[in-house]
Amino acid sequence: MTKRHLLSLLLIILFQNQVFSQIKISGQIKNEKNNPVEFIEIQLQNKDSIIFKSELTNAEGKFILETEKGEYSLLVRQLGGIYHKQKISVNQDTYIGIINITEKTQQLQEVVITSKKKLIDRKVDRLIFNVENSISASGGDAIDALKITPRVKVKNDNISMIGKNNMSVMVDDKLILLTGDELINFLKSIPSDNIKSIEVITTPPAKYDAEGNSGLINIKLKKSKLNQWNASLRSSYIQSTYPKGSFGGNFDYQKNKLSLYSNLNYVNGSNAPVETNKIYYPLGLWNEENKRRDFQNSVNGRIGADYKISEKFSVGMQYLGSFSKPKIAENSLTTIYNQTNSQIDSYINTLSENLGKNNNHSLNLNSTVVFDTIGRKMNINLDYFKFKNDDNRIFNTINLLSANNTSLQDIQNYSAKIDFEHPLKWINLSYGGKLSFIKTQNNVNYFDTTLGNPIFDPTQSNEFNYDENTQAIYLNGAKKLNEKWETQLGFRLENTQTEGVSKTLNQKNTNSYTKLFPTFYLTYSLNEKNSFSINYNKRINRPSYNRLNPFRWYSNPFSYTEGNPFLQPSFSNNLELNYTFNDNWSNSIYYSHTDNGFEQITIVDNTDNIQKTIAQNFFKTTIIGISESYTYNKLKWLSSTFSFDWNYSKSESLIPITNQNLNGSNAYFSISNDFNLNKNKTLLFNFSYWYNFKGTSDLDKNNSYSQLDASIKYFAFDKKLQISFNANDILSTNRPIYTSFTNNIQIDYKNYYDVRLFRLSLVYKFGNKNINVEKKEVGNQEEKERTN
């Protein structure tokens, strides 16, 4: 299907509403004070006095019933009592209007619905983990809830999805433009008791950007009352090799038609990772140990507002900012061993310091227009994003070389996104489009300071500019075939033009491609306990801007890392088969094939011993795997979550200097146990353990490694104060080793990122802790993620 054909189809659908529109009955329930009433049951009764349709009103007291043409009775009832009844005749969409219930029904707003949902539920395009039914998630934050969510891994505050390279996070269907520590700090500000459910979307529908072989996490918050406010303060002390501290808070306000939300966090401190690699040259072993101290000094914040102009029109804005001054001090010692007698032949000692300055600004303007009561609406997002990175790296190899390497990277992105929801009688449609314009400027300078005065070296300097423009449209249709079968089909068409210009080399590289990304879902619900589904999608993985930046990062005169401005995107096809049993056991079989894959590769030259690490498109990989998740919650004082993942991969290199083929399996196991230590559930204890088995990763081999964690939480002052103590990597066993080959030379990488630590945290909440402020989706999530 070409872009022109798809656009024509969208226009035809847009103007077919009068032909295919379904019949819907809608209205609103209010009490005598004109306040909306939630959880009132609305029923439709046919001429034989049989109830065949039933819905509950939402937080605004609104309801929608779908039916065929005919004569019916509409009933408003609760707890066995009928509070309103009227006969209606429907031949087209009918708006009943506002129905006011009598004085005796005012107390219905205080009724608590006690029916229990499943812990795990399977929908057509996602798995839903109902956090509100989980004992182990209570009293914590969003990070604690994610730790026990099926298909999600949380390692040392790094969130990932099993079987996926990347992951994005949404709150109430709105993408959050935060990554790294900023995202972690934001999620820690969300109490788990305010989370209704977490949706795990392993194969995102056509509505979302096709970028990355990644999944989506959608955190759904509980509904709240209007005209309330909420605030919290949080502070943490972290001790690994060196101390680190953080302090932050958030404030949300909601009154009438106005909602305000904000979040601010400050982090200062350092840790001490150690990177070690061994290169087995034919003439002897080179052992490089790089001891680092990474300093973090950053402040990030978010502020936004939403205003409801009318019942059908609302607008909003959101600003996110981050300011940091990272510093890295390194002491790299390379020990060279003689091949003949394995004795030390010589040393290469390099001292270096990297001073950075990063500024990040993101602005979103949005609006929502509701066209009618049957569900047709439009969302518009306008986004601006600016990222500026300034690096100054000074290194000195004793008795050999001194140099100063500087880099300035400036990225700007403008995007516009429009989405429509268009329910029809025979299918629920959604469609829309997006325009994105990206401009990056990179200026790299190298100065030789060996003789004292800096001497500019044009051969190791570069001025590189990169532009990328993308136009996308999508169409998605969902239909419930009957009570057991449900399906969804979508198509996303993306047209991309790129231009990379090296002014230093007087070289230009352009690329233009149009790709279609289909998605398909089919779900079969045998009964309440057994659900089956199959999902398919195609994805594109574009390189991050950092990997396109030709900046060289020298460890010593013989070893450096640089970006590749001529990287191309990779493409993947993904297929999943899922089975969910009861409310606590999730099973998946998945398949993924990646073409033109790119990753960093170290190229070793045996003639001059130069080690060049650069990202290249050099492999294709096929993976088939099994993922299992089981939650045990039969005891009031204990809840345990078990996860297991096994996959077999077959990777083939596209360049001759690496392993031509590498086949093998990898496996991962984790368990998390939560104990309630008292009846009031104010003292909680957790210990968790995960183990990564020996296996393969693309064209690398890895050893086995693991981690044991423990934590204890105490709540005081009616649970407004939370005190937590966490111990990570207690046994210091999280030390992976990866082995690769280039030019038939073996390289072993052993990195330890100082994850053995303890953390003491305090959180104090005040105001109304149940407030829920709507967060707006932004249109340039994909572009922002590529800055990492």
Helix (H) or strand (E) holding 231: strand 228-239
Position 9 scores a pLDDT of: 43
Residue with tokens 């935060």: 178
- Asked whether 565 and 502 are in contact (CB, 8 A), the reply is yes
Mean pLDDT over 707-723 rounds to 89
Q: Which residue did the predictor score with more confidence, 426 or 227?
A: 426
Q: Taking 60 as the threshold, does the pLDDT of residue 313 lie above it?
A: yes
Position 534 scores a pLDDT of: 94
Helix (H) or strand (E) holding 129: strand 127-129
520 plus 654 within the same structural domain: yes
- Domain holding 76: CATH number? 2.60.40.10
35: its two tokens: 């306040």
Q: Taking 90 as the threshold, does the pLDDT of residue 105 lie above it?
A: no
Residue 190 falls inside a structural domain? no
pLDDT averaged over the chain?
83
Q: How far apart are the two ends of the chain, measured CA to CA in Å?
A: 34
Q: Taking 60 as the threshold, does the pLDDT of residue 586 lie above it?
A: yes
Mean pLDDT over 249-271 rounds to 87
- Asked whether 262 and 251 are in contact (CB, 8 A), the reply is yes
Q: Give the Cα separation of 65 and 56 in Å (integer).
A: 10
446: its two tokens: 């190298």
Position 496 scores a pLDDT of: 92
For the stretch 431-462, pLDDT in tens is 999 999 999 888 889 999 998 899 998 888 88
Q: Taking 70 as the threshold, does the pLDDT of residue 768 lie above it?
A: no
Position 339 scores a pLDDT of: 80
314 plus 454 within the same structural domain: yes
With helix as H, strand as E and coil as C, how does 329-394 read? EEEEEEEEECCCCCCEEEEEEEEEEEEEEEEEEEEEEEEEEECCCCCCEEEEEEEEEEEEEEEEEE
For the stretch 659-706, pLDDT in tens is 778 899 999 999 989 898 988 888 989 888 999 999 988 788 999 999
Mean pLDDT over 570-591 rounds to 89
- Asked whether 689 and 728 are in contact (CB, 8 A), the reply is no
Closest CA to 516 of 453, 562, 472, 568: 472
Q: Taking 90 as the threshold, does the pLDDT of residue 109 lie above it?
A: no
The residue among 92, 110, 128 that closes a domain is: 110
Q: Which residue did the predictor score with more confidence, 173 or 488?
A: 488
The residue among 86, 110, 134 that closes a domain is: 110
Mean pLDDT over 69-98 rounds to 83
- Domain holding 520: CATH number? 2.40.170.20
| Count: domains in the chain | 2
104 plus 234 within the same structural domain: no
Range of the domain at 750: 229-785
Phi, psi of 14 (to 5 degrees): -60, -35
Residue 394 falls inside a structural domain? yes
Q: Give the Cα separation of 124 and 522 in Å (integer).
A: 6
| Residue 512: strand, helix, or coil | strand
Residue 184 falls inside a structural domain? no
236 plus 106 within the same structural domain: no
Position 136 scores a pLDDT of: 54
The residue among 110, 125, 160 that closes a domain is: 110
Q: Give the Cα separation of 318 and 361 in Å (integer).
A: 11
In sign, the C-alpha dihedral spanning 167, 572, 362, 380 is negative
- Asked whether 505 and 465 are in contact (CB, 8 A), the reply is no
Residue 160 falls inside a structural domain? no
Residue 336 falls inside a structural domain? yes
Closest CA to 582 of 530, 635, 632, 644: 530
Residue 135 falls inside a structural domain? no
Between the ranges 26-30, 45-49, 118-122, 228-232, where is the mean pLDDT highest? Answer: 26-30
Position 316 scores a pLDDT of: 92
Closest CA to 317 of 394, 382, 228: 382
For the stretch 328-383, pLDDT in tens is 999 999 999 988 878 898 999 999 999 999 888 889 999 999 887 777 899 999 99
Question: Cβ neighbours of residue 718 under 8 Å, at least 6 residues apart?
Answer: none
Band the pLDDT of 113: cuts 50, 70, 90.
very low
88 plus 233 within the same structural domain: no
Exposure class string for 218-232: b at 16+ Cβ within 10 A, else e: bbbbeebeeebebbb
Band the pLDDT of 11: cuts 50, 70, 90.
very low
Q: What percent of the chain lies above the pLDDT cut of 70?
A: 87
Phi, psi of 8 (to 5 degrees): -65, -40
Range with lowest mean pLDDT among 160-169, 205-214, 246-255, 724-733: 160-169
Position 127 scores a pLDDT of: 80
Partners of 298 in the β-ladder: 267, 324
Residue 425 falls inside a structural domain? yes
Residue 241 falls inside a structural domain? yes
